[in-house]
Amino acid sequence: MWFVDDGYEYHVFYLKASRALGDPNRRHFNVTVGHAVSDDLRSWREVSDALIASESPAFDDYTTWTGSVVRAPDGTWRMFYTGTSRADGGLVQRVGVAASNDLYTWAKASTEALVEADATWYEKYDGATWFDEAWRDPWVFADPDGDGWHMLVTARANHGEADGRGVIGHATSPDLRSWTVRAPLSNPGAGFGQLEVPQIATIDGRTVLVFSCLHGELSEDRKRTGERGGVWAVPVDSATGPYDVEKAFQLTDESLYAGRLVQDRDGAWWLFAFHHVDDSGAFVGALSDPLPVGWAPDGRLHVSDGRFDHLA
């Protein structure tokens, strides 16, 4: 899921699939980008879906997945999103963009991808090393010094142990139109097979990276220590990296996933996520209520209502 505040309403975009599919794992390839709005970040009204897969042939004629929304200098909104194609069997992920004047009606820019993994730094799908070619969940933000735009991406390095190649991919743009893939902003070997839905936020003057990783995609070394998955966080010195994700700690357990930090109009920060599994381990798939977050005395960001104090 990803959020945007237009000054009047809060908008959340999210992946949605019919429960008539039965098997929750089928949701990944039977999905649309849903859209809901709220006045208070608590009560939500669902509106028309934002995106669906394109007609073939296109880089996104199989699925449209997670992304982010920013407002361009010309006042239009840009949604950067993940796409997969039927030609690749949904195994190769790329990033595209759609534009809107009102956040309700979106027009995709092209049937061609905007940016994809560059083999100079990133792993390409080979059918053996990993189950897909990771280049998804684009998080776009303006450079803090006014020098264009940055895109953070769920990606994998092209070297290292297979279960620890997860990195934060990076691309830059002067204008939100043309993008150049750069070296990753984190190093492989930190113990994560993938770092999903990355986000950068600055809370009370301190910058933090959040991402998500489930137990199944942790390295064997992390699994042996008893670590589980969930939403992770790590304070960073700069929004534009580098990020030492080896020092990441959990914000939540696996009951919540794909966490996003959202600031309300009063300046308070909240964590949203989707309800991933219940106490029995069954998939849930629903938007959480906002959870308050704040900095602990030990320098860690934490969910400040005490719900996940056991992870400290």
Across all residues in the chain, what is the average pLDDT? 95
In 132-154, which positions are buried (b, 16+ CB within 10 angstroms) versus exposed (e)?
A: bbbbbbbbbbeeeeeeebbbbbb
Residue, of 286 and 120, whose pLDDT is higher: 120
- Given a cut of 80, whether residue 25 has pLDDT beyond it is no
Residue type, 279: D
Distances (CA, A) of 218 to 106, 128, 180, 253: 36, 18, 29, 13
Pairing of strands 45-51, 32-38: antiparallel
Distance, in Å, from the CA atom of 82 to the CA atom of 94, rounded to the nearest integer, reads 6
- Given a cut of 90, whether residue 312 has pLDDT beyond it is no
pTM above 0.75, yes or no: yes
